[in-house]
A and B are shown apart, each in its own frame.
Chain A
Amino acid sequence: QSALTQPASVSASPGQSITISCTGTNSDIGNYNYVSWYQQHPGKAPTLMIYDVTKRPSGVSNRFSGSKSGNTASLTISGLQAEDESDYYCSSYTSTTTSVIFGGGTKLTVL
């Protein structure tokens, strides 16, 4: 069982928007703006998409955005494209171990 909880799967059609949630506790998401999101295509290494809840690394499309409310962080992808079909993982700093923990991952299907 992963430390952060994500839905196993989400799906939507091209052009639509989706939001993936990531739920933690007061020891991680709830008390720190230290959430990251990663995209992972099959057989490939993860790629950083969002960090510090809302920041995008250089080169990441502005169709990707992050937010947080309470113990839940969210990744929103707007204007879905076929290439967005992938697994997405959230992560957060946790004061419990002063390290990083991950969610179990969400498989995004673009219909």
Chain B
Amino acid sequence: QLQLQESGPGLMKPSQTLSLTCTVSGGSISSTTYYWSWIRQHPGKGLEWIAYFYYGGYTHYNPSLKSRVTISADTSKNQVFLKVNSMTAADTAVYYCARQIHGSGSYPFDHWGQGTLVTVSS
């Protein structure tokens, strides 16, 4: 059974760099069938796709965040990482890790982690 588990700092100060880890079990992030994405949800708001990582190291970013975001992975540990630079209060959100189906035009997110709340406050 596939499971995704996010981990992160919880609370951070403005201007710091956010580092998140998504640990995947029950499936391999080296699969050519799936992308591995980060998505965030501001409190009480909608969903925003941030970036995805794909087999072989291919990455793709939301243009609105691309200048501050880096996605990467360690296939030996089956982990996907997200770094966001220059965090502000506007980046306060629940950050989700999700599996995205490659080969389906909708690129649907069929499995999600439980999410980790990141709060930016001085």
A and B: real partners?
yes
Contact A98 to B113, CB < 8 A, known contacts A45-B96, A93-B106, A103-B46: no
Contact A46 to B47, CB < 8 A, known contacts A57-B110, A97-B63, A99-B62: yes
Q: State whether B47 touches A34 (Cβ < 8 A).
A: no
Q: State whether B106 touches A36 (Cβ < 8 A).
A: yes
Q: State whether A102 touches B47 (Cβ < 8 A).
A: yes
Q: State whether B109 touches A48 (Cβ < 8 A).
A: yes
The answer for the CA separation of A59 and B47 in the assembled complex, in Å, is 23
Residues of B with C-beta under 8 A to A33? 105
Could you say which interface size class chain A belongs to? 20 to 34
Q: Does B57 contact A (CB under 8 A)?
A: no
For the A-B complex with A52-B105, A97-B63, A99-B107 known, give 9 more contacts whose Cβ atoms are closer than 8 Å: A32-B105, A34-B104, A36-B109, A44-B114, A45-B114, A46-B96, A99-B60, A101-B49, A102-B48
Q: Chain B: residues with CB nearer than 8 A to chain A?
A: 45-49, 60, 62-63, 96, 98, 100-101, 104-110, 112-115
Q: List 24 A-B contacts (CB under 8 A).
A: A2-B46, A32-B105, A33-B105, A34-B104, A34-B106, A35-B106, A38-B47, A38-B109, A44-B114, A45-B98, A45-B112, A46-B112, A48-B110, A51-B110, A52-B106, A52-B108, A91-B106, A98-B60, A99-B62, A99-B107, A100-B106, A100-B107, A103-B46, A105-B45
